[in-house]
Structures are given as structure tokens and as C-alpha cells.
């Protein structure tokens, strides 16, 4: 795979080697990585993304949401409970929606740039 198609496959939660197998289990445990790719057999237990995706998400969300909340406060000046509900909901939705693609992206980057870890 080219570097771009590898990146796209990673964001789509697909295997970084073949781009076809799913990285995550389905059903209730859909946040859990599979042990191996069901298409090419890549051992996914060798990934070492650890807390990287969560930390990356915290930095990006914090840098994006705090200025948006400050601008919203200056323009609209809503009651505090509106801020709590609005920004809490947005933060939760963005976190839940993007954690798997970001974890998958980190795994894809590690696969591309640290190939010795996967042998
Ligand atoms: Zn694969």
C-alpha cells in the first residue's frame, strides 16, 4: 500500500498491512482490538499505542473546545448550565466518535515507521 492509502485505511479502522481486515471486534466489545487481522494474519497484539490516542485527543479537543466556549460566551452569554450541557455533550460525542479512528491511525503510523516492532 502507498503511504496515503495506508493512512486512509488506518482512519477507516482497517489493518495497516493489508487495508482490508478490521482492527476492532464487533458487538459489545467493539472498542477492543482483535488479536490478529482476519485477512492477512498481522499480529495486532504487538501494537504499542498505549495512552497515545487518548492524550492526542485530549490535546486537540482542549485546544479546540475551550476557545469555542469562550467565543460562545462572548457572543451569546448563556447561563452556565447551557455551557455544561453543550460542551459536555460535544466533548463526549467527539471523543466517542473519534477514539477508534485515532487509535487506528496511531497503530498505522507505528506500523509504517517502526516496522521492527511488528516482526
Ligand atoms: Zn491485514
Q: Determine the Cα–Cα distance for residues 31 and 51; give it in Å rounded to an integer.
A: 14
Q: Determine the Cα–Cα distance for residues 113 and 100; give it in Å rounded to an integer.
A: 20
Distance 66 CA to ligand 1 centre (A): 38
Q: What is the maximum alpha-carbon separation in the chain?
A: 56
CA angle 95, 39, 113 (to 5 degrees): 60
Question: How many domains is the chain built from?
Answer: 1
Task: Tell me what the mean pLDDT of segment 97-118 comes to.
Answer: 88
What is the structure's pLDDT at 26?
A: 85
Residue 17 and residue 37 in contact, taking contact as beta carbons nearer than 8 Å: yes
C-alpha cell at 47: 501494537
Spell out which residues have Cβ within 5 A of ligand 1, the ion.
15, 17-18, 21, 37, 39-40, 42
Q: How confident is the model at residue 37 (pLDDT cuts 50, 70, 90)?
A: very high
Distance 63 CA to ligand 1 centre (A): 34
More confident residue, 50 or 3: 50
Residue 14 has pLDDT above 70, yes or no: yes
Structural domain boundaries enclosing 37: 3-118
Report the percent of the chain where pLDDT is more than 70.
Answer: 96
Q: Determine the Cα–Cα distance for residues 89 and 72; give it in Å rounded to an integer.
A: 15
Amino acid at each position: 500500500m502507498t503511504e496515503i492509502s495506508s493512512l486512509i485505511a488506518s482512519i477507516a479502522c482497517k489493518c495497516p498491512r493489508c487495508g482490508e481486515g478490521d482492527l476492532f471486534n464487533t458487538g459489545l466489545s467493539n472498542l477492543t482490538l482483535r488479536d490478529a487481522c482476519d485477512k492477512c494474519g498481522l499480529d495486532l497484539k504487538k501494537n504499542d499505542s498505549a495512552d497515545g490516542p487518548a492524550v492526542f485527543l485530549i490535546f486537540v479537543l482542549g485546544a479546540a473546545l475551550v476557545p469555542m466556549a469562550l467565543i460562545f460566551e462572548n457572543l451569546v452569554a448563556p447561563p452556565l448550565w447551557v455551557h455544561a450541557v453543550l460542551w459536555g455533550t460535544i466533548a463526549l460525542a467527539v471523543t466517542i466518535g473519534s477514539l477508534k479512528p485515532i487509535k487506528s491511525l496511531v497503530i498505522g503510523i507505528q506500523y509504517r515507521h517502526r516496522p521492527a516492532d511488528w516482526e
